[in-house]
Amino acid sequence: MQSAGSNSKLNSRITRYGLIGRPALASFGRQAASLTSQMLAYAGKSRTSTENVDLNSIVTDTVHLLRLSISKNANLDFALSSDPLAIEADPSQIRQIIMNLVINASDSIGDAVGRIRVSTSRLTVTPEILREARLGQELSPGEYVVFEVNDNGCGMSEETMARIFDPFFTTKFAGRGLGLAAVLGIVRSHRGAFFVQSTLGLGSTFRLVLPPSRRSLAQNRTAATSSGTAEPFLKPGHFLVVDDEPSVRKLTCNVLEKEGHSVALASDGYEALALALAHGGRFTAVLLDLTMPGMDGPSTLKELRQMKIDAPVLIMSGYSEIDARKRFADEAQLAFLPKPFTGEILLKNLYGLLARLPST
């Protein structure tokens, strides 16, 4: 057994020569494991556990962490497809790509004020489009699912673009150079394609193209309904949608109209009040953005209530639910919808709100 004195001498040697103790060794082990995982991803040989998932849902599940990870000067907005985008993928690896590309976009903005847009869509890929791919030029033309990150940051020169997928190449501080190389490996393992466009001083666009799942979107929607994720609202409703983001208005309108409802769209509070007068205030529910220029959500709702419009309200916001509800403390018929959202999540929250109301 070592004496206290010998322990003291050992600790002194560790301090003097920089030898690592158990906590440091454990940290080193985690870093090595992470590095190994990224190297396997780069080679396209990492272990994957694929399942049938909706790309939109993966994006929305990552939003909170994204907002915490990027610069406060970067405005993050979303333009998600109004339809589910089913893919066969490892959700954890797709989340890794999303995080990597958005953080990379934030780094390119730096200390300046900038914008990052995340979008999803379906795309008919032609041979001409595939010729521009950095990876996946051998894919067959056809319909694919697309995830895209666009920023107005510093952009890249041709020399930088030629090296961004090299392992350990970085224009930032040491330790972050393997990210895009790992992204490429994950795309390879998912039989996808990857595109990069950038102009020095103007920004960059990274586009991930993945094959759609063999399960049809109609099957996904049927399965979601049968599992109770979006309870059906049987009678046609009339909804007032108020949001200053065109993409949100378009998605919400498309989803509700496909369900057989009618929709009145307003881009701000003043337009919402005009529509309320024109429609006689007869709305099944109001879908209201929390923050808008001119007249914000709370002010708009106050005016609607003074017009004797007592429809329930679904608040749509990228802020936390706690912060949003504080601004509507006197409202009983209210529910919260975090941004961004998919059509399925929209219906789940809206129909859930309507289901809680007393039957008339």
For 11-45, what is each residue's pLDDT tens digit? 444 344 344 444 444 444 444 444 444 444 444 44
- Tokens 């958005």, residue located: 102
In the predicted structure, residue 108 carries a pLDDT above the cut 80: yes
**At residue 231, does pLDDT exceed 80?**
no
56 and 82 in contact (C-beta within 8 Å)?
A: no
The pLDDT value given to residue 352: 87
As a whole number, mean pLDDT of residues 331-350 equals: 87
Question: For position 327, what pLDDT does the model report?
Answer: 86
- pLDDT tens per residue, range 115-132: 999 999 999 999 999 999
Asked if the model's pLDDT at residue 207 lies above 90, the reply is yes
Q: For position 160, what pLDDT does the model report?
A: 84
Measured in degrees and rounded to the nearest 5, phi and psi for residue 344 equal: -65, -45
What structural domains and CATH numbers belong to the chain?
46-210 (3.30.565.10), 228-355 (3.40.50.2300)
The predicted structure's pLDDT at residue 318: 82
Average pLDDT over residues 47-52: 71
- What pLDDT score does 167 carry? 64
Residue 196 predicted with pLDDT over 90: yes
3-state SS assignment for residue 139: coil
Distance, in Å, from the CA atom of 192 to the CA atom of 188, rounded to the nearest integer, reads: 6
pLDDT given for residue 247 in this prediction:
87
The answer on pLDDT for 203 being more than 60 is yes
Strand order in the sheet with 334-338: 262-266, 238-242, 285-289, 313-317, 334-338
| Per-residue confidence (pLDDT) for residue 172, from 0 to 100 | 56
- Give the per-residue pLDDT at 233: 53
- Separation in Å, CA 129 to CA 38, 122, 144: 28, 14, 12
241-281 pLDDT tens trace? 999 999 899 999 999 999 899 999 999 999 999 999 988 88
Predicted local distance difference test score (pLDDT) of residue 224: 46
pLDDT, position 234: 55
Q: What is the average per-residue pLDDT within 325-341? A: 85
pLDDT score for 32: 43
DSSP 79-125: E--SS--EEEE-HHHHHHHHHHHHHHHHHHHTTS-EEEEEEEEEEEE
Residues 226-237 have a mean pLDDT of 57
Q: Does pLDDT of 9 surpass 70?
A: no
First CA to last CA distance, the chain: 81
The token pair at 147 is 């995830």
Mean pLDDT score of the chain? 80
Distances 183 to 135, 174, 240, 251, 266 between C-alpha atoms, Å:
11, 18, 41, 29, 40
Q: Residue 169: pLDDT band by 50, 70, 90 thresholds?
A: low
User: CA 340 to CA 147: how far, in whole Å?
Assistant: 14
Residue 111 has pLDDT above 80, yes or no: yes
